[in-house]
Structure 1
Amino acid sequence: MNGNYTIPKFPPRLIIPTSFEECLTYGQRQYYMWKVIEQMQDKIDELEERIEALEGED
């Protein structure tokens, strides 16, 4: 990028959504990510419980 680069007023090309995430609006993405994180947290909690149970067997 050279020193006299200016930001174009319009995007240089049309961005065509190619994935599920790109098709979602920002708000939907936030919600979707929150759901994924929630599921991950549930899985982590479940694994921690299993680890504690296994450690208790020693």
Structure 2
Amino acid sequence: MDINIDAPYNILKQNQGDVNDAMGSKKKTVEVNSDPLALIAEKTNVSRSKEKVVVSS
């Protein structure tokens, strides 16, 4: 089975600015990587800390 990753990779590259804007990330240099999944993994590596929410009534 042949999987073509060019189409999803191109979509990722075209929408990268929109994703950065939505995540509020600062602009930085884009690394050229032959593996688009590595790019996704790098972008989704965010802190998962929970915030304490105090509800007063």
- TM-score bracket, normalised by the shorter chain, equals under 0.3
**TM-score, normalization by structure 1:** 0.27
More contact order relative to length (CA 8 Å, sep ≥ 6): 2
Larger Rg: 1
